[in-house]
Amino acid sequence: MITEKDFVFTTITNAIEKGNFQWSAPSNIALVKYWGKKDQQIPANPSISFTLNHCKTITKLAFAKKHFDTSPSLSTSLLSVTTDTFSFDLLFEGKPKEDFKPKIQKFFERIEKYCPYLKDYHFTIDTENTFPHSSGIASSASGMAALAMNIMSLEKELSRNFGTEMTEDFFYQKASFLARLGSGSACRSIKGNIVVWGNHAEIEGSSDLFGVEFPAKIHENFKNYQDTILLVDKGEKQVSSTVGHDLMHNHPFAEQRFAQAHDNLAKIKIIFETGNLDEFIQIVESEALTLHAMMMTSLPYFILMKPNTLEIINTIWKFRTETKIPICFTLDAGANVHILYPENVREHVLQFIKDELVGYCQNGNYICDTIGNGSQILT
């Protein structure tokens, strides 16, 4: 069984002076939700998600080795510093983004014990999203996943220069492990089109420490599954997800909810194998509403859905009843609505969205996406 100690980097090498990598990592949408965390970003219950394809973060990581020798002979192409701290510049869409830096600083602090080489380098992190930053889609998952992939590319090269070849499995497992320490759901944005995070008795290889690709066969009904994201509210949430997770510690329904998630994950595993769309719809919509029910029954209680969120849900239910088209919704911890449906009904659903749902979106905005395969290295 893999433990945290297995991810501690122990190789000593000074072979790499500078370089850069670039990775893209997608957002993801949970089908069975996790809500509530233990220490060290450990989930209170397992979750499973679709990895998206188009909504992603692209991050370039340039690095230059620090030198503590300030003699005149030091090459001017190398960074000269005298402090033992994390050193990085952060650019968002090519421009300095100071308000993002505390989150990166905290991330580096969390992963330092596993990546002790971080203080040996000055980093320039240049990141951008393929979706509008103000679109209301959480970018922390894709952003932290992309950064973790870049860090692991550096670690892989450090290992190689020491004469050790890192396995692909370890590379992706540790990347997911690191991403989780930046943003829990980021561990589900590393590899695979359907990803499970959290220990579950019926999911082979599942772990609280990192996400794993869904290990069973996936029915044709779920190949190229579609996700159209209706942007109901692009503003900042009045209650952060971090605060919401913390409110599960003394929640009156917490234990029942955690048990429900385990049960629903077991059910959806069978659904992915059999292709039963009616049962898929029931689980996914129930999970979305339960997530928000937890928010509405915590102390303090809060509501992240907006009136238009409810209008969309009711319109979807009416459309599904009348047409028998297997369309369903899910929600993240916010007001936006993800509409999920098979590829073979795409034209009908898109026409329905244009005819009946666009008016509920802020400025008529929505994003069409599909299931993707995870992070990709970019040349």
Give the tens place of pLDDT for each residue, 134-185.
Answer: 666 768 999 999 999 999 999 999 999 888 899 999 999 999 999 999 999 9
For the whole model, what pTM was predicted?
0.94
Alpha carbon distance 272, 50 (integer Å): 12
Q: Is 166 helix (H, G, I), strand (E, B) or coil?
A: coil
Given this structure, which CATH class describes domain 17-203? alpha beta
Residue 84: what pLDDT?
77
Q: What is the pLDDT of residues 94-147, one digit of tens each?
A: 999 898 899 999 999 999 999 999 999 999 999 999 987 666 676 899 999 999
154-159 own/partner pairs: CB under 8 Å, 24+ apart: 154/16, 154/19, 154/21, 154/61, 154/63, 154/117, 154/121, 155/9, 155/115, 155/117, 157/16, 157/19, 158/9, 158/11, 158/13, 158/15, 158/16, 158/117, 159/9, 159/11
Dihedral, CA of residue 12, residue 78, residue 124 and residue 6, to nearest 10:
0
Interatomic CA distance for residues 169 and 147, integer angstroms? 18
Question: Which residues of the chain form CATH 3.30.230.10?
Answer: 17-203
Fold of 224-370: Alpha-Beta Plaits (3.30.70)
Residue among 104, 38, 40, 47 nearest 245 (CA): 38
Contact 371, 16 (CB under 8 A): no
What confidence tier does 67 reach under pLDDT thresholds 50, 70, 90? confident
Strand boundaries in the chain, DSSP class E? 18-32, 37-38, 42-43, 47-67, 79-80, 87-92, 95-96, 121-129, 194-197, 211-213, 226-230, 328-331, 337-341, 366-370, 376-377
Sign of the Cα torsion 56, 336, 358, 342 reads positive
